[in-house]
Amino acid sequence: MKFVATIFKLRSLGEGAVTQLMIYATELENSLLELAKKDEQQQSRKIGVYTTSVKKTFAKTKNVLKLLNMPNQEFLDNFSNFFEDAT
């Protein structure tokens, strides 16, 4: 997802930037889910797959943002808790 890729390209984040990015991510997720609800009756199976994908993608995005908002040691202590495949 381009949103997460862009976050990784940032050199540093100012105070409050991670919080604002979390707000943007939540708003974008809600907008995408609302969009799916409008067409849900016509294509319920496809919408279910779409909704699951959106929720999963944004869960990962929010986890990255939560990690970025942690102090260094807390980041290291919690990294593997946020990602199943982290070793």
- Do 68 and 17 meet the contact criterion of CB atoms below 8 Å apart? no
Q: What is the pLDDT of residues 54-72, one digit of tens each?
A: 898 888 888 888 888 888 8
| Distances, alpha carbon 68 to alpha carbons 10, 28, 38, 85, in Å | 11, 19, 34, 18
Answer yes or no: is 87 within a domain: no
Answer yes or no: is 5 within a domain: no
- Do 87 and 80 meet the contact criterion of CB atoms below 8 Å apart? yes
- CA-based nearest residue to 51, from 71, 25, 32, 24: 32
How many residues are present in the chain?
87
Answer yes or no: is 33 within a domain: yes
Look at residue 75 and tell me whether its pLDDT is greater than 60: yes
Supply the range of the domain harboring residue 52: 14-82
pTM reported for the whole predicted model: 0.61
Higher pLDDT pick, 8 / 17: 17
Answer yes or no: is 1 within a domain: no
The CA distance from 54 to 7, in Å, is 18
Number of domains comprising the chain: 1
Per-residue pLDDT band for 8 (boundaries 50, 70, 90) equals low
Answer yes or no: is 75 within a domain: yes
